Chain A
Amino acid sequence: MALFPLSSNFEGDFVLQLVPVDDEITMDEVAAACAEHSVNRRVRPQPDKVMRVRRHTTGEMFPRDMKVKDAGLMPTETVDVIFADE
């Protein structure tokens, strides 16, 4: 269990933001942590969608239950958080 800084690129927002997370949490939890800093602040929620996390540089979608520590991310690497159907 360790603090792991990520750069959040949240769909529809205008800026990358620093979001420190625990490396034991899942990608769904990462999406929720990133949403805290964008949704209802500048971005409207999309309750009929799920929020998915993908690698910014390749667009590779991470499995929803994958843990941060297993994703091969570098500290401060940028992840996209996007609204998806599933």
Chain B
Amino acid sequence: MPLLDRSEYYDLIRTTNWTPSYVSEDELYPEEMSGSRGIPMEKWESFDEPYKVAYGEYVATQREKDSGAYSVKAALERANFVDTADPGWISILKAHYGAISVPEYAAMTGEARMARFSKAPGNRNMAVFGMMDETRHGQIQLYFAHEHTRRSRQWDWAHKAMHANEWGALAARHFFDDMMMTRDAIAVSLMLTFAFETGFTNMQFLGLAADAAEAGDHTFANLISSVQTDEARHAQQGGPNLKILIENGRKDEAQKMIDVAFWRSWKLFSVLTGPMMDYYTPLESREQSFKEFMQEWIIGQFERQITDLGLDTPWYWDEFIRALDETHHGMHLGVWYWRPTVWWNPAAGVTPEDRDWLEEKYPGWNDTWGNLWDVIIENLVEGRPELTGPATLPMICNMSNIPIVGTPSNGWNVKDYPLVHNGRLYHFGSEPDRWVFEQDPERYQGHMNFIDRFLAGWIQPMDLMGGLQYMGLAPGEIGDDAHNYEWVSRYTPDVAGTAAG
């Protein structure tokens, strides 16, 4: 046990900006890795992390958290929750583990960049713990998914997804590579820890934990709450760096990094978390709608944080709020329609009761999205399943790498945001997506999205089977309707006819 209280020694041990004598400061902290933006070393020493921890107490706390999560898992294994849970909930678990587990390891690299190259000693200290956090998150989420691989190969995508060219995995990798793998230490602290973790992982981990508890999945609820308590700590590295940037005349650069990272995070969550919360989670277990979670966590909390720190809300804020009624419904319909191309089984989530709920949460849903689902339901009821699956590919945004969607039917507003750059035609799903590209075209211009790869002949044969093969989706892994279309029986031919008007 330490003889001194942490507060008595912490400031001293954190003071590690020693004066180098064998190498220059620039050699010790290369600008492309450190990202100090011309702000002198001593200014970074004012970094004061709001959540302080020393190694001994970190280890004790983490051990306790791990013990808790693993104990709950062990105790509930025999209850076979996974074998009896709603298939929509199982799809959430498979999608979550595939999209999140391995990027946790990648996030360790982002933390390591801050731990080694940040000029702020407090940032370096916190990031060491952040590295260990992310390693723990990678390990624990891979381990929790692994026990289920005997149930279905789809569970193996917890590990496989980020090593495959599946389109959703491409989107996640493009995002995470941009935010945390290819940025300097200060940018990582703003874009990963502040914009993504403060803003959005709360949604995935606390919002979903609430749904998990309601659904009776205490193992998952406990696991992701355990992860989020780490996030809540290491997400606070961005705030003090933001303060230093603003105090030293770098507000515009900071604002741009936040604006880029926030929009990119939103788009990823619109395809990952939106469908989970509003369609996959069984109706009786839904705590709030995706939009309500977003309003609480993002508009309520994140907006206040950025303005308290002296930043402005992103320039596209009105468009972001508008899109809360739109984007994830399109992503859900797209994922369900192109269901063979994902590693989980999408739940349609459109029984009559589901639709009442959607209409209540998103007034006008039946007059827009519902009209398209009516045609799909009719095809299923009347024995034309071949019309309810893919015959071509959706156009993919060259920034978010997810389909370009808009509101259909009576609210039809689908729009492409094209840009010709160096003779190549790029497509974007929104004005902010195009704006992100325009901020740094050299950074993004070479990337080939799934459509670019298809048209370049990388995918052979050029059909669905060739596409699935390219994505690494083998039989037994490709997605299909989560409930094996049982929900369609709720629509007798009469009911479908009525719904069709």
- On A, residues with C-beta under 8 Å from B are 5, 7, 9, 11-19, 36-37, 40-44, 56-57, 74-78
Q: Which residues of A have CB within 8 Å of B394?
A: 15-18
Can you show 27 pairs from A to B with CB atoms below 8 A apart?
Answer: A11-B412, A12-B371, A12-B408, A13-B414, A14-B333, A14-B369, A14-B405, A14-B407, A14-B408, A14-B414, A15-B394, A15-B395, A15-B404, A15-B405, A16-B395, A16-B403, A16-B404, A16-B414, A17-B393, A40-B387, A41-B391, A42-B337, A43-B375, A44-B371, A75-B455, A76-B455, A78-B427
Count A/B pairs, Cβ under 8 Å: 99
Are B425 and A14 interface neighbours, CB within 8 A? no
Q: How far is the CA of A84 from the CA of B412 in the complex (A)?
A: 15
Q: How far is the CB of B460 from chain A (nearest CB, A)?
A: 15
Are A77 and B425 interface neighbours, CB within 8 A? yes
Q: How far is the CB of B379 from chain A (nearest CB, A)?
A: 8
A16-B408 in contact given A74-B425, A78-B395 (Cβ < 8 Å) = no
Contact bitstring B372-411, A, C-beta under 8 A = 1, else 0: 1001100100000001100111110000000111111100
Closest to A40 in B: B387
Q: Which of B369, B388, B427 contacts A41 (CB 8 A)?
A: B388
Q: How far is the CA of A18 from the CA of B372 in the complex (A)?
A: 19
Q: How far is the CB of B420 from chain A (nearest CB, A)?
A: 7
Contact bitstring B407-430, A, C-beta under 8 A = 1, else 0: 111001011101010000101000
Q: How far is the CB of A80 from chain B (nearest CB, A)?
A: 9
Q: How far is the CB of B158 from chain A (nearest CB, A)?
A: 28
Q: How far is the CA of A16 from the CA of B415 in the complex (A)?
A: 8
Q: Secondary structure of the A side of the interface?
A: loop
Q: How far is the CA of A48 from the CA of B222 in the complex (A)?
A: 58
Q: B454 in the interface, Cβ–Cβ < 8 Å?
A: yes
Q: How far is the CB of A68 from chain B (nearest CB, A)?
A: 16
Query: Known pairs A15-B330, A18-B392, A42-B372. 14 more at Cβ < 8 A?
Result: A5-B455, A7-B427, A9-B416, A13-B372, A14-B408, A15-B403, A16-B414, A18-B451, A37-B391, A40-B375, A41-B376, A57-B416, A75-B425, A76-B455
Q: Which residues of B have CB within 8 Å of A36?
A: 391
A14-B392 in contact given A74-B425, A76-B455 (Cβ < 8 Å) = no
Q: B68 in the interface, Cβ–Cβ < 8 Å?
A: no
- On B, residues with C-beta under 8 Å from A are 330, 333-334, 337, 369, 371-372, 375-376, 379, 387-388, 391-395, 403-409, 412, 414-416, 418, 420, 425, 427, 451, 454-455, 500
Q: How far is the CB of B104 from chain A (nearest CB, A)?
A: 31
The 6 lowest CB-CB distance pairs between A and B, nearest first, are A16-B395, A14-B408, A78-B416, A42-B372, A16-B404, A18-B393
Q: Which residues of B have CB within 8 Å of A12?
A: 371, 408-409, 412
Are A17 and B392 interface neighbours, CB within 8 A? yes
Q: How far is the CA of A57 from the CA of B415 in the complex (A)?
A: 9
Q: How far is the CA of A37 from the CA of B392 in the complex (A)?
A: 7
Closest to A77 in B: B425
Q: Which residues of B have CB within 8 Å of A41?
A: 375-376, 379, 387-388, 391
Q: How far is the CA of A44 from the CA of B387 in the complex (A)?
A: 13
Which of A9, A13, A15, A74 has most chain B Cβ within 10 Å?
A: A15
Q: Which residues of B have CB within 8 Å of A43?
A: 372, 375, 408-409
Q: Which residues of A have CB within 8 Å of B409?
A: 12, 43
Closest to B416 in A: A78
Q: How far is the CB of B90 from chain A (nearest CB, A)?
A: 26
Are B391 and A18 interface neighbours, CB within 8 A? no
Q: How far is the CA of A14 from the CA of B371 in the complex (A)?
A: 11
Q: How far is the CB of A22 from chain B (nearest CB, A)?
A: 15
Q: How far is the CB of A30 from chain B (nearest CB, A)?
A: 14
Q: Which residues of B have CB within 8 Å of A18?
A: 392-395, 451, 454
Q: Which residues of B have CB within 8 Å of A13?
A: 372, 408, 412, 414
A44-B330 in contact given A17-B395, A74-B420 (Cβ < 8 Å) = no
A14-B395 in contact given A40-B387, A76-B455 (Cβ < 8 Å) = no
Q: Which residues of B have CB within 8 Å of A77?
A: 418, 425
Q: Which of B372, B392, B500 contacts A19 (CB 8 A)?
A: B392
Q: How far is the CA of A73 from the CA of B406 in the complex (A)?
A: 23
A9-B454 in contact given A15-B404, A16-B404 (Cβ < 8 Å) = no
Are A15 and B414 interface neighbours, CB within 8 A? yes
Q: How far is the CA of A44 from the CA of B378 in the complex (A)?
A: 11
Q: How far is the CA of A11 from the CA of B412 in the complex (A)?
A: 7
Closest to A56 in B: B416
Q: How far is the CB of B200 from chain A (nearest CB, A)?
A: 24
Closest to B425 in A: A74
Q: Which residues of B have CB within 8 Å of A44?
A: 371, 375, 500
Q: Which residues of B have CB within 8 Å of A17?
A: 392-395
Q: How far is the CB of B374 from chain A (nearest CB, A)?
A: 8
Q: Which residues of A have CB within 8 Å of B420?
A: 74
Closest to B373 in A: A42
Q: Which residues of A have CB within 8 Å of B395?
A: 7, 15-18, 76, 78
Q: Which residues of A have CB within 8 Å of B375?
A: 40-44
Q: Which residues of A have CB within 8 Å of B415?
A: 9, 56
